[in-house]
């Protein structure tokens, strides 16, 4: 690992400073040739090191110099004395990401490049330090858009579609069947819900729910910790079986046969009940480890209203008081307590199972297969995106918050050591604003850096690049110059090697890409010759981000550019020629990395379930397999992330 190699680098640097290996007797007391080209070695941090430290504060820097007669070196254009051991030592301020230190002695320059971050994420396995890299926030009309389920434009539409398909009715059937609720003796006490007048005693009231359908109307809202669901059914028709007796009895005689028989006081009759039903339940949502869960917090209310009763088997002489008493008892909270509990529990289980099934579809569509990612060097790297649920929260203020943690895994073997891992600055995405749209997606810049790091480990950023592959706009803007690509002197061939992975950062004004630790070996006409090795570093800034699931980046300009030829002092003209071409090359690399080498942003979506299992029965939701719900992609840059807000809909 990077931190373990520093002592070895220091020993090597001291050997350079002393002019050779002390184990070689021939070197003892040898006179150093004054014509030796100065050699510069990065010691601390060494070239390509990943430094675990806080940005925006100085860290020690040490370089070893082998330059006969030289007494000082310039470090980032500041003169520093060379000590008796051939070392220059100073402190330099650092920033997050790629840092460069330029050391110059007698016209020879060297770039020392290293990465600084307050934390690094492991490349193998799921690292909780990464936090939430992508977030889906659903609120307002994304929870309930107030219309039907012709198109799935809200979570309530999913509930309505599933109800129409019979899922809720199936859940009620599984949970209820035919049930009996406790009856309350009918007295003149208003608390029983009985009407005054002739008294009726029910010993049995059975309700047959086999004809019970799904609620016709529903309302969905977010409360702290979960979802509140209000379901209404109008003119709900149920079979009923009543047994009991009245305080009245009649003798009925046949006018022809003159035979008489009693009517009442006992009765045992089948009939129908028609009523309006409203059930309110709260379902809590959350995570059990990395598994989304939904649990019924409470059945807030089960209301029965607008009751109509038909009991055609009961003689008309005693029917009215029985019908009236039953009509009075059914809406009564005391009389129908057990019935309401059973109805609420069965309905609540149907809603809970549907919500949990929907939440367990939290994913990113990119995780369904391998991703073929091209690089500027012509290689194609196969990656697999894994997504772990990290956040399922419900807030009355912010809506429903669904987060995942992404990571890219190589499908093949790694070529380069991953070092400390992926540089992290502020990985987790937080919610600090109200959501005025139906939904919002946010993807951390960490997702970009995960891709760059994976490509770096795969060796996809190294290789031979033909100069005719380097494409740039008519004018490349770089520090202190504007370069026309068709006016520069290009090499005939080059090989690129990336010592550290590119690192991106994002703010509201655009995207910055740090290209550092790059080494180009050029072959071609002067000043390249046969194998000119150049270290270079650039900071590219893209000021525009296009809309779409896979955004592109434009308005790229170079705000920093450093170039150093290894072990060679170049003239001003040679330096200008090489620097102009490296500017064009850096623009091409930045454009290629941001656009061609980045898959679509891994925005979270909800995969709506096509079936839900309740009580061992698989019930259809009426939703096609693979249906994805999410925020319409209209990406824009924000602090540390990309954001998209707008309609919540089928994707």
Same domain, 160 and 86: no
Parent domain of 494: 461-596
Of 67, 89, 117, the one marking the end of a domain is 117
Q: How many CB atoms are located within 10 Å of the residue 173 CB?
A: 20
- Are both 206 and 312 inside the same structural domain? yes
- What is the tens place of the pLDDT at every residue in 8-45? 444 344 444 444 433 343 343 334 444 578 899 999 99
Tell me the average pLDDT across 528-553.
Answer: 86
Q: What is the structure's pLDDT at 543?
A: 85
The number of folded domains in the chain is: 3
Residue 237's pLDDT band (cuts 50, 70, 90): confident
- Closest to 244 measured CA to CA, from 205, 200, 187, 202: 202
User: Do residue 183 and residue 60 come from a single domain?
Assistant: no
Percent of the chain with pLDDT over 90: 57
For residue 594 the two structure tokens come to 């941001």
DSSP secondary structure letters along 495-529:
EEEESS--EEEEETTEEEEEEEEEEEEEEETTTTE
Question: Domain check: are 107 and 186 in the same one?
Answer: no
Res. 209 pLDDT band, cuts 50 70 90? low
161 and 91 both lie in a single domain:
no
- Given a cut of 70, whether residue 2 has pLDDT beyond it is no
Q: Can you give the pLDDT at residue 4?
A: 39
CATH number reported for the structural domain that contains residue 70 in this entry: 2.60.40.10
pLDDT of residue 5: 41
Q: For residue 124, is pLDDT > 50? A: yes
- Are 166 and 31 within one domain? no
**The pLDDT of residue 213 is above 70:** no
pLDDT score recorded for residue 198: 53
CA-nearest of 194, 183, 202, 181 to 314 is: 202
Whole-number pLDDT of residue 560: 96
Neighbouring residues of 255: CB distance < 8 A, sequence distance ≥ 6:
none
What integer is the mean pLDDT of 452-458? 95
For 89-112, letters b (16+ CB in 10 Å) and e give: bbebebebbbbbbbbbbeebbbbb
Over residues 119-136, the mean pLDDT reads 91
Per-residue pLDDT at 442? 92
CB of 238 within 8 A of CB of 212?
Answer: yes
Residue 429 placed within a domain = no
Q: String of b and e for 449-477 (b: at least 16 CB within 10 Å)?
A: bbbbbbbbbbbbbbbebeeeebebeeebb
Same domain membership, residue 160 and residue 112: no
Residue 262: inside a domain: yes
One domain, residues 77 and 217: no
Task: Enter the tokens of residue 431.
Answer: 């919610």
Does 221 reside within a domain? yes
| pLDDT at residue 247, as a whole number | 81
CB 503 within 8 A of CB 423: yes
Coil/strand/helix, residue 180: strand
Is there a domain that residue 640 lies in? Answer: no
User: Is the same domain home to 16 and 86?
Assistant: yes
Q: Report if residue 284 sits inside a domain.
A: yes
**Whether 111 and 160 share a structural domain:** no
- Confirm whether 233 is domain-assigned: yes
Tell me how far CA of residue 379 lies from CA of 366, 382, 431, 464, 552, in angstroms: 20, 10, 38, 10, 21
User: Residue 106: what pLDDT?
Assistant: 92
Domain match, 110 and 160 both: no
Report the mean per-residue pLDDT for the chain: 86
What is the DSSP code string of 606-645? EE--SEEEETTEEEE-S--TT-EEEE----EEETTEEEEE
Indicate the burial class of 56 (C-beta count within 10 angstroms; 0-12, 13-18, 19 or more). Answer: exposed
**Which pLDDT score, from 0 to 100, does residue 227 have?**
97
Instruction: Kindly report whether the peptide bond that precedes residue 312 is cis, defined as omega within 30 degrees of 0.
Output: no
C-beta of residue 297 within 8 angstroms of C-beta of residue 224: no
Taking the C-alpha atoms of residue 319 and residue 316, their distance in angstroms, rounded to an integer, is: 5
Asked whether the predicted pLDDT for residue 456 surpasses 90, the reply is yes
For residue 8, the model assigns a pLDDT of: 42
Token representation of residue 83:
């000590």
3-class SS of residue 298: strand
Residue found under tokens 């040679």: 574
pLDDT digits (tens, 9 = 90+) for 326-376: 888 888 777 677 777 878 888 889 999 999 999 999 999 888 888 999 988
| Predicted local confidence at residue 549, as pLDDT | 65
pLDDT of residue 179: 52
Report pLDDT digits (tens) over 376-431: 888 899 999 999 999 999 999 999 999 999 999 999 999 998 999 999 986 567 66
In a domain, 531, yes or no: yes
| Domain's final residue, options 359, 382, 413 | 359
DSSP run (H or E) holding 585: helix 572-591
> Does 245 have pLDDT greater than 90?
no
Q: From 568, 596, 624, give the residue that closes a domain.
A: 596
| Structure tokens, 75 | 């470090």
- Residues 101 and 30 grouped into a single domain: yes
| 163 phi-psi bin (left φ>0, alpha ψ -120 to 50, beta other) | alpha
Q: Decide if pLDDT at 194 tops 60.
A: no
185 band by pLDDT with thresholds 50, 70 and 90: low
Domain contains 413: no
pTM: 0.84
Specify the pLDDT at position 210. 64
Task: Report the CATH number that the domain containing residue 328 is assigned in CATH.
Answer: 3.15.10.10
Diameter over CA atoms, the chain:
147
Secondary structure of residue 171 in the 3-state scheme? helix
Burial of 58 (0-12, 13-18, 19+ CB in 10 A): exposed
Highest mean pLDDT, choosing among 9-18, 175-184, 446-455: 446-455
Strands 463-465 and 476-478, how do they pair? Answer: unpaired
């Amino acid at each position: 690992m990077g931190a373990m190699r520093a002592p070895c680098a220091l020993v090597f640097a001291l050997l350079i400073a002393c002019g050779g290996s002390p184990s070689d007797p021939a070197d003892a007391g040898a006179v150093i040739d004054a014509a030796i080209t100065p050699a510069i070695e990065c010691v601390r941090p060494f070239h390509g090191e990943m430094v675990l430290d806080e940005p925006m504060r100085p860290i020690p820097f040490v370089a070893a110099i082998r330059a006969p007669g030289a007494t000082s070196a310039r470090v980032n254009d500041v003169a520093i004395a060379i000590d008796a051991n051939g070392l220059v030592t100073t402190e330099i301020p650092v920033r997050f990401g790629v840092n460069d230190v330029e050391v110059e002695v007698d016209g020879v320059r060297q770039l020392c490049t290293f990465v600084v971050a307050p934390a690094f994420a492991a490349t193998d396995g799921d690292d909780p330090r990464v936090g939430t890299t992508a977030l889906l926030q659903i609120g307002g009309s994304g929870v309930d858009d107030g219309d039907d389920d012709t198109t799935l434009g809200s979570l309530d539409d999913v509930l309505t579609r599933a109800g129409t398909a019979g899922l809720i009715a199936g859940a009620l059937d599984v949970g209820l069947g035919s049930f009996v609720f406790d009856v309350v003796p009918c007295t003149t006490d208003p608390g029983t819900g009985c009407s005054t007048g002739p008294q009726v005693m029910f010993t049995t009231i059975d309700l047959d729910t086999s004809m019970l359908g799904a609620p016709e109307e529903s309302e969905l809202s977010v409360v702290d910790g979960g979802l509140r669901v209000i379901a209404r059914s109008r003119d709900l028709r149920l079979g009923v079986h009543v047994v009991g007796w009245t305080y009245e009895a009649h003798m009925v005689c046949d006018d022809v046969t003159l035979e008489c028989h009693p009517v009442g006081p006992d009765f045992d009759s089948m009939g129908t009940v028609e009523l309006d039903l409203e059930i309110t339940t709260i379902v809590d949502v959350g995570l059990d480890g990395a598994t989304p869960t939904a649990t019924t917090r409470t059945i807030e209310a089960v209301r029965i209203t607008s009751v109509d009763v038909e009991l055609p088997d009961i003689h008309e002489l005693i029917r009215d008081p029985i019908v009236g008493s039953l009509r009075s008892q059914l809406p009564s909270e005391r009389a129908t307590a057990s019935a309401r509990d059973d109805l609420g529990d069965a309905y609540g289980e149907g809603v809970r199972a549907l919500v949990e099934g929907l939440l367990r579809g939290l994913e990113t569509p990119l995780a369904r297969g391998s991703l073929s990612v091209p690089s500027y060097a012509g290689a194609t790297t196969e990656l697999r995106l894994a997504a772990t649920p990290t956040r399922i929260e419900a807030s009355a203020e912010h809506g429903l918050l669904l987060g995942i943690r992404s990571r890219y895994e190589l499908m093949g073997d790694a070529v380069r050591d991953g070092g400390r891992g992926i540089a992290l600055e502020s990985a987790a995405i937080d919610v600090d604003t109200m959501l005025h749209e139906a939904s919002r997606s946010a993807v951390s810049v960490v997702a970009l850096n995960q891709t760059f790091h994976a490509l770096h480990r795969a060796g996809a950023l190294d290789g031979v690049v033909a100069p005719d592959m380097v494409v740039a706009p008519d004018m490349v803007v770089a520090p202190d110059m504007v370069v026309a690509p068709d006016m520069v002197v290009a090499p005939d061939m080059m090989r690129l090697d990336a010592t550290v992975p590119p690192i991106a950062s994002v703010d509201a004004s655009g995207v910055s890409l740090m290209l550092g630790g790059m080494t180009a070996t050029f072959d071609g006409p002067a000043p390249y010759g046969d194998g000119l090795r150049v270290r270079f570093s650039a900071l590219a800034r893209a000021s525009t981000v296009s809309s779409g699931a896979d955004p592109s980046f434009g308005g790229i300009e170079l705000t920093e550019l450093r170039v150093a030829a290894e072990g060679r002092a170049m003239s001003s003209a040679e330096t200008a020629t090489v620097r102009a071409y490296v500017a064009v090359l850096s623009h091409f690399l930045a454009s290629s990395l941001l656009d061609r080498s980045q898959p679509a942003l891994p925005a979270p979506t909800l995969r709506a379930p096509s079936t839900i299992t309740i009580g061992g029965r698989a019930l259809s939701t009426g939703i096609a397999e693979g249906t994805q719900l999410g925020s319409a992609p209209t990406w824009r840059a924000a602090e540390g992330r990309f954001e998209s807000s707008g309609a919540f809909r089928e994707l």
